[in-house]
Structure 1
Amino acid sequence: MKMFCTNCGKQNPEESKFCSSCGASTEALPPQNKAAYINKKEEMTFSKSISTCLSKYIDFGGRASRPEYWWFYLFTILLSWGGMLVDSSTYSDSTQIVSGLVNLALFLPSIAAGARRLHDTGRSGWWQLIAITIIGIIPLIIWLASKGEEGNNKYGTPS
């Protein structure tokens, strides 16, 4: 009987109790039930989305899931607010050095994550430019929040 990881779906040697890849417990499954664990998607968490988006700093290709994009968006907002708090408590005038540096450092990863998110919905990343028109922010938010295309599209496989 083959042993499959209950977390990542990886096949492990017989009689193994823990996955050699992720360390989760394994379960013996008859061959017809192994599909339940194979290709199981890993849940996107706050910290995983941050590491994914920062590791793809200027990668405008591929696709990004909704949780990956929105967790990273929350991270950028929180970091920006943190920078503004530091600026307001450190500098007496309206100097915004820290928040400016934070926003500058996260600008490209945010644009890249947005492009990958639009790719997941079947649209080009260039559609982000519609936000310049102010009214274009509405359809852009709808596209970024909508469900991605099932299966492969011209931008790659779902993440």
Structure 2
Amino acid sequence: MRCKYCNYENKPGDKYCENCGASIENNMGMNDISSIPVPPPMGQEGASQPTAQNSPQQNNGYQGGYNGQPNPYGQPNGYNGQPYGQPNPYGQPNGYNGQPYGQANPYGQPNGYNGQPYGQPNPYGQPNMYGQPPFGYFNTTDESPKYVEFGEAITLFFKNYVNFKGRSTRSEFWYAFLFTFLVGLGVVFMSIFMSRTASNILSYAVDAALIVPNFSIEVRRLHDAGKSGWWIVGSILATLLMLYSTIAGLVTSLGGNIEAGSALIGLGYLIAFPICIVLIIFWCRPSEGNNKWGPPPMPPMFRR
């Protein structure tokens, strides 16, 4: 029996067109499709009451038909002609990118960022910053290295008086530098009201008290930046060179040759200047990750 809508030749006795799903009886002149009986679902007995809502032309579902019948567009039950639960319309099986749900992400990596389980290191190899840090990765003690304010930096400065093996953050180092600078200004101010001998004694005493912790924190700052502490030899050489050139220049100037004295002072500072620049760059570098001098400082977001 030929369908008048799609011209498809159906089998004798078919009530619906196998190609387009239109009613064969309606093709033969029946106008009220609400009276057409609807077959019961597969495996069930009895039929639902015939209504216009569950007729083949008004069925529910996306390209899948209702009650096991073809939809009006000639597609079998299921999405894109496939039984429910089978591959999606793009030919992939259930799950994202062809994997069972909960498995690989769309780029072929397993669950987690960059193929790592959630809560593990991020793609740059550092611990994640959400939640708690991995045990033992950061310095969790009250010792150096630590992100600190001015007062705590001074405490750590004297607490690590002769510590040449650990690490110190930039905040520890530069607050300590500010402290020694302010102490030096205080000595100069007090020397105004003191005799020459007393002011010299005070100046030498302060220098002797601060020289060792200054060198130790410079070494620890180099370690924290991932540099060898032996770079401090450059600081010592630069200091001695500037001191020697200053003394030699003053002696020469007092001897009557002011130009030669000024030249000696300028030459000493000119040689020491590049060494100081290199060291300042190293001291300004951020803290490195876990290295042979110990763990990095605990980030402030993890501190309690």
C-alpha distance in 1, partners of 2:222/2:178? Answer: 17
CA contact (8 A) 1:44 1:67 kept: yes
Q: Provide the residue aligned with 1:35 in structure 2.
A: 132
Q: Which has the larger radius of gyration?
A: 2
TM-score (norm 2): 0.38
CA contact (8 A) 2:147 2:172 kept: no
C-alpha distance in 2, partners of 1:78/1:101? Answer: 15
Runs of 4+ that moved beyond 6 A: 38-42
Q: Provide the residue aligned with 2:205 in structure 1.
A: 101
TM-score (norm 1): 0.70
Listed one character per residue, the Cα deviations across residues 71-111 of structure 1 (whole Å, up to 9, x for unaligned) are 00100111111112112221257952212211110111110
Q: Which has the higher strand share?
A: 1
Does residue 153 of the first structure (1) align with residue 291 of the second (2)?
Answer: yes
Q: Provide the residue aligned with 2:282 in structure 1.
A: 143
Structure 2 residue ranges without an equivalent (≥5): 1-129, 141-145, 239-271, 298-304
C-alpha distance in 1, partners of 2:293/2:229? Answer: 10
Question: CA offset at residue 123 of structure 1?
Answer: 1.1
Does residue 110 of the first structure (1) align with residue 214 of the second (2)?
Answer: yes
Q: Mark the CA change 1:92 to 1:61 in structure 2 (over 3 Å): closer, same or farther.
A: closer
- Letter of the aligned partner of 1:144 in structure 2? W
C-alpha RMSD over aligned residues: 2.5
Q: Provide the residue aligned with 1:73 in structure 2.
A: 177
Question: CA offset at residue 34 of structure 1?
Answer: 4.6
Listed one character per residue, the Cα deviations across residues 114-145 of structure 1 (whole Å, up to 9, x for unaligned) are 00000011111120121324121110011011
Instruction: Provide the aligned length of Structure 1 versus Structure 2.
Output: 125
Structure 1 residue ranges without an equivalent (≥5): 1-32
CA contact (8 A) 2:168 2:217 kept: yes
C-alpha distance in 2, partners of 1:100/1:92? Answer: 12
CA contact (8 A) 2:147 2:169 kept: no
**Which structure carries more relative contact order (alpha carbon 8 Å, separation 6+)?**
1
CA contact (8 A) 1:66 1:144 kept: yes
Matched-pair identity in %: 33
C-alpha distance in 1, partners of 2:197/2:221? Answer: 38
Indicate the SS of the match to 1:100: helix
Q: Which has the higher helix share?
A: 1
